[in-house]
A and B are shown apart, each in its own frame.
Chain A
C-alpha cells in the first residue's frame, strides 16, 4: 500500500469509524455507508486538504464520494508532490 492510500485510509477511519476497515475498497462509498453523511463528507474533504496541503473546489468535492475516487483524485493531483 503506498503512502497516499495509507493516508486516505487513516482519514476515512478517523472520520467514519473503524468499521470500514473490514470493507473492500469498492464498498466504501457515500451512497452505501450510513456513517458517510454530508457533514462527515465535509470533514473528509477538510482532512484531505489539511493532510496534502491542497484546496479542493466544491465542484470537485461533490464528486469524491467513494474510496476509489479519493485515491484517483489525490494520485492525479498536480500540486501533490
Chain B
C-alpha cells in the first residue's frame, strides 16, 4: 500500500506502544523529506524508529573514519557518492576521468562500508551530468560501479526515484512522489524484513493491454501493435510476458463480457496468450471483489498483489477496499511510461531464476480452485466521487447538431438500452416528429472535459427508445442524473423504456436491476421518476448542473 504525506502524518500522530529501533541514515544529501515516511512505514511494521543523519556532504568522511561501526546503518547512496566527479552540485568538473582511479575509490568506499557490523546499502540509479564526451568510458564506469554495488549486496532503486530539480534546489535528490517507496525500503531494511515482494500482477484490459475498448471498438478498433497508438500497449504486453516467464503470475480483471474480453487473444491480436494468465475474470462488478476471488482461488495473500488500471475510479475503489494491494495507475502519457515499468519492477526484486519460477503459472493453474467472478459489492465511492467536481450540461438536439448522439447510438454496446441502431435519415425524421426529443449530456470533472457522453431519445413524449452512455464515464453515476434532468426538462414523472437484452448490454441490465426494474423480458418497462429520485438523491448531489 502506498502512503501519501497525509496518510503518513495520520499514522505518525496516532499513539502506539511499539518498541523503539535506532539506526543511522547515512547519506550525503538532505533526507528531511523522508522523515515522516520512514516513521510511518516503521510503525506499519510494528516499531518506532529513531535515527540520526549526517551533516550535509560529510558522508565520505564519515565512512572512511569508520565512525560508529557497531551501530545499524542504512547507507543511501547516489552515483556521485561513489564517483564524486559525477556530482551535479559541483558542476562539470574539468578533471579528466581516469577509470582505474575512479573504480579504486568506489571500491575503497564500499569496502569501508562492508566493515560496518550491520550495514545495508540503498543505491538510487540517478542520472549523472555529461562530464565527458567519451561515452564508452562513462558506460564502463557505470557498469563497473553497478557490479561493485551488486557484489556488496546493494539494493538498487530505479532512476525515476531521482529528481535533479529537487537535488539542485534543496539538496534532496529523491523525487517527492517517490518518498514513500524509498522510506518503505529503508524501514524494511532496518528490521531485515524482506520487501513485500509481489507475486502476481492483476491487469485491466481496455486501454491497458490494448488501446481502445474491445466491446465498443471491436477487434478492428483496438490497437496493440508495435506501431502507432498501440505501441506502449505492445511494450507493456511484452513486459508482462517476460515477467510471466520469470515466475510472476499474471491475471486479468476486466469490465467486459467474457467473450469480448477473450476475443483479442483468440484472434491472435496480442503478444500475451490467454494461457499466460493464471486467471481472467470478466465482470461488471467491483474489481476489488474480483481480486479477492483470485486471492482465494490461488491462496495468495492480497499484499502480494499489484493491480494495474487506467481508470482512477477503479484504482481508488481497490485502494479503498483492499489497502494491502499495491495499485499502480497505467499512465496516459508516454513520457511516464518508463517510470511506470520501473515502478512495477521495483516491487519484483529477484536475482535468481529457477526452473520452478519458469513454470509457476502452470503450477498455480494446476492447483488453483477456479476463480469465479464475484458480485460482491465494492467500496462505496460516494466520498471519492464527490471530490471529482463533476458537472453536467445537457442540450436538446435538432437536425443540425445530432451527429454525436448518432455516433453514441450506433457505437455504444454496453450501456445501451436495446442495441438498436439508427440511420442518419431515420434519426432526422424522428427528431422532426412532435413529441420526440433527442437529449445529449456532457460531463466535465477534474480529469477534464469528457464531451457528450450520454444520449437519450424520447418518442411520444415519454417513451425512451434509445438510452446510451459511453463506457468512459461508467461508475460516475451520470446515468442517474441524466434521468432526473430529463424528467425536469420534459416535465414528465414516468418513462417507458424500450428495453431489449443483448449479449453486451450487461451494464444497462445492472442499472435496471439496481432499480428493481424487471428486465427478464424484453418489453416496455416503466420507470417512475419520483421513486427513482428518492432512491438516488445522494447521487444527484455529486454533480453541478449547467443549463
Chain A residues in contact with chain B, CB under 8 A? Answer: 2-3, 7, 10-11, 14, 39, 42-43, 46-47, 49-51, 53, 55, 57-58, 61, 81
Contact = CB atoms under 8 A, between A and B. Distances in A.
Contact of A46 (B13, B33, B168, B387): B33
Interface in B5-33: 5-6, 9, 13, 32-33
Given A14-B5, A39-B32, 8 more contacts: A3-B387, A49-B176, A50-B180, A53-B177, A55-B175, A55-B176, A58-B169, A81-B447
Nearest to A59: B169
Nearest to B6: A10
A34 to B, nearest CB: 19
A19 to B, nearest CB: 15
Which secondary structure characterizes the binding site on chain B?
helix
The 3 closest A-B pairs by CB, nearest first: A49-B176, A58-B169, A14-B9
Most buried by A among B4, B5, B180: B5
B169 A51 contact: no
A51 B387 contact: no
Most buried by B among A7, A43, A50: A50
Nearest to B12: A14
A51 B4 CA distance: 6
Contact of A57 (B169, B179, B389, B446): B169
A43 B32 contact: yes
A29 to B, nearest CB: 21
B448 A81 contact: yes
A51 to B, nearest CB: 5
20 contacts: A7-B6, A10-B6, A10-B9, A11-B5, A14-B13, A42-B33, A43-B32, A43-B33, A46-B179, A47-B5, A50-B176, A50-B177, A50-B180, A51-B6, A55-B175, A55-B176, A58-B168, A58-B169, A81-B446, A81-B447
A11 B177 contact: no
Contacts, number: 53
Contact of B165 (A7, A11, A43, A57): A57
Contacts of A58: 165, 168-170
Given A42-B32, A43-B33, A57-B169, A51 B389 contact: no
Nearest to A7: B6
B166 interface: yes
Interface string B230-243: 00000000000000
A66 B12 CA distance: 25
Nearest to B4: A51
Given A14-B5, A50-B4, A55 B163 contact: yes
Contacts of B168: 58
A15 to B, nearest CB: 8
B179 A50 contact: yes
Most buried by B among A11, A14, A57: A14
Most buried by B among A11, A42, A58: A42
Most buried by A among B6, B176, B446: B176
Interface in B182-196: none
Given A49-B176, A55-B163, A55-B176, A14 B170 contact: no
Nearest to B447: A81
A50 B174 CA distance: 11
